[in-house]
Amino acid sequence: MTYLQQEDKAVFDIIEKELDRQLHHLEMIASENFTFPAVMEAMGSVFTNKYAEGYPAKRYYGGCEFADQVEQLAIDRLCALFDCKFANVQPHSGSSANAAVYTALLKPYDKILGMDLSNGGHLTHGAKVSFSGQNYESFSYGVDENGLINYDKVAEIAKIVQPKIIVCGASAYSRTIDFKRFREIADSVGAILFADIAHIAGLVVAGEHPSPFPYADVVSSTTHKTLRGPRGGIIMTNNEEIAQKINKSIFPGMQGGPLVHVIAGKAVGFHYNAQPAWKEYAKQVKANIKVLADVLIARGYDIVSGGTDNHLILVSFINKPFSGKDADLALGNAGITVNKNTVPGEHRSPFVTSGIRIGSPALTARGMKEAEFKIIGEKIADVLDDIENTELQKKIAAELKALASNFIMYEKSIY
Ligand SMILES: *Cc1c(COP(=O)(O)O)cnc(C)c1O
């Protein structure tokens, strides 16, 4: 029996149900993953008890010698992974990391230029409902009718806007991001280049997507998406002056005590990211989503931009009688978790949409390969072809539950 099981059965039971849900549905949300049990052990460790405001060897509390060691180890491992000079591993999330970057480098109402939310960007890239669109004067670029970033267009917009910072990186974009080209655009208007690689970081460290270094001035990421570590954020740079500003903006600027237990988990995650097996994982992530794209194309579905270079695809239902929301619900009933997503030429509301986003990182972490992704692709098409057939959805849910049970990732819910 675990302590939780003995002391708080109510929470224990909910966590058990969540484990069951994670293992018996097919998790295909592109931003999700299954972290390593060793990462979860570190996150559940005694470091949750420790206050360690400040940075290694520069703390505001006593007793930080081991917090120092684990944070320094996380920083050193992260710098080695990305071949960069400075890193901050304290951001509580990707959004907090981005807030710290802006706070460090901008004044209120400075101009930022980022990718539009409905075109694949993130809320924190200047969306009006986000602090990034409220505290700064935000402008956006998007994708063309084929779903691709038109870099000439970005350059034109930058020339008119004259932003202080250009944000590149996305949450729903299936093609390679040309960081060199973004650098040229930033240079042409004297802007700082900020790369947010929250989605693709795991591919970058494996050499499966070009690195934002040396082009970007500052780089942020999450650690829980393709990196497969604990939930959290990180910021990296090669510029010492920027590094110092970032450190100040995280603490004391925006956060209090760092989550040392999560930083320990980040260090463990970075250890896995540095192993030869990591390259195999990243290659498999890409191979798997390609198989899925090919099956859906063969079955008559439109993939935005015609395919993918990374870990995700966007499927467009612009020419279909059903919406992204309908597809999301039908696939959910069939045991496949995806999310609805706006697509180029969108004519439905953001709550309905005409597309879905599908990713391969989580199922690849569970050990699935091309053969399984082929089966899943056919099942997705079966559901979509007959989208109102709830009996079929139930039947497929049972079949996929059986498939998923061959790929059990965790033996228990608590590590
Ligand atoms: C997910 C994501 C974030 C935010 O991460 P959270 O941890 O959810 O705050 C930031 N930028 C991009 C591009 C993302 O995809």
Contact of 323 with 317, CB cutoff 8 Å: yes
Domain ranges in the chain are: 12-30+279-414, 40-273
Q: Are strands 111-115 and 86-88 parallel, antiparallel or unpaired?
A: unpaired
Residues across the chain:
415
Which residues participate in catalysis according to the annotation? 51, 53, 196, 222, 225, 231
Cβ(140) – ligand 1 distance below 6 Å: no
Burial of 128 (0-12, 13-18, 19+ CB in 10 A): exposed
Tell me what pLDDT residue 412 has: 85
Helix (H), strand (E) counts: the chain: 16, 15
- Residue 93 CA: nearest ligand 1 atom is 7
Mutate to test the pocket of ligand 1, among 124, 203, 254 (most ligand atoms within 8 A of CB): 124
Contact present, 93 and 75 (Cβ < 8 Å): no
> 344 CB less than 6 Å from ligand 1?
no
Strands, DSSP E only, in 170-321? Answer: 192-196, 218-222, 233-237, 302-303, 312-316
Contact 334, 396 (CB under 8 A): yes
What sign results for the dihedral spanned by CA atoms 327, 332, 337, 341? positive
Place of tokens 């619900």: 329
Q: CB of 195 within 8 A of CB of 221?
A: no
| CB of 403 closer than 8 Å to CB of 375 | yes
Q: In CATH, what number does 12-30+279-414 get?
A: 3.90.1150.10
The C-alpha atoms of residue 322 and residue 258 are separated, in whole angstroms, by: 46
The CA-to-CA distance between both ends of the chain, in Å, stands at 12
pLDDT at 292: 98
Q: Find out whether 89 and 266 touch, Cβ atoms under 8 Å.
A: yes
Q: List beta partners, residue 233.
A: 222
12-30+279-414 and 40-273 share one CATH topology? no
Report pLDDT for 360.
98
- Is 338 in contact with 295 (CB distance < 8 Å)? no
Q: Is the CB of 196 under 6 A from ligand 1?
A: yes
CB 331 within 8 A of CB 356: yes
Cα 252 from Cα 258, distance rounded (Å): 11
Q: Ligand 1 centroid vs 172 CA: distance in angstroms?
A: 11
The CA distance from 105 to 91, in Å, is 16
Cβ of residue 171 lying under 6 Å from some atom of ligand 1: yes
pLDDT for 183: 98
Burial class of residue 176 in the structure, from the number of CB atoms within 10 Å of its CB (0-12 exposed, 13-18 middle, 19+ buried): middle
For ligand 1, atom 2, the nearest C-alpha belongs to 198
3-class state of residue 111 by DSSP: strand
Domain 40-273 in CATH 3.20.80.10? The answer is: no
Q: Which atom of ligand 1 is nearest to the CA of 225?
A: 1
Residue nearest to atom 10 of ligand 1 (CA): 94
Q: Ligand 1 pocket, 122 CB below 6 A? A: yes
| Residue 124 CA to ligand 1 centre (angstroms) | 8
Q: Ligand 1: which atom is nearest the Cα of residue 125? A: 11
Alpha helices in 386-410 (DSSP H): 390-404
User: Does residue 125 line the site of ligand 1, with CB under 6 A?
Assistant: no
Cβ(54)–Cβ(256) under 8 Å?
A: no
What was the pLDDT predicted at 282?
98
pTM above 0.85, yes or no: yes
Q: Looking at residue 411, what is its pLDDT?
A: 87
Identify which of 115, 222, 310 to mutate to test ligand 1's pocket (most ligand atoms within 8 A of the CB).
Answer: 222
Give distance in angstroms: CA of 222 to centre of ligand 1. Answer: 6
Ligand 1 nearest atom to the CA of residue 171, by list position: 15
The per-residue pLDDT string of the chain (415 residues; one tens digit each, 9 = 90 and over) reads 899 999 999 999 999 999 999 999 999 999 999 999 999 999 999 999 999 999 999 999 999 999 999 999 999 999 999 999 999 999 999 999 999 999 999 999 999 999 999 999 999 999 999 999 999 999 999 999 999 999 999 999 999 999 999 999 999 999 999 999 999 999 999 999 999 999 999 999 999 999 999 999 999 999 999 999 999 999 999 999 999 999 999 999 999 999 999 999 999 999 999 999 999 999 999 999 999 999 999 999 999 999 999 999 999 999 999 999 999 999 999 999 999 999 988 999 999 999 999 999 999 999 999 999 999 999 999 999 999 999 999 999 999 999 999 999 898 888 8
pLDDT at 414: 82
Instruction: Label the pairing between strands 165-168 and 192-196.
Output: parallel
The three-state secondary structure class of 253 is helix
Is residue 273 within 8 Å of 227, Cβ to Cβ?
yes
DSSP one-letter string for 217-264: SEEEEESSSTT-SSS-EEEEES-HHHHHHHHHIIIIII-SS--HHHHH
pLDDT at site 415:
80
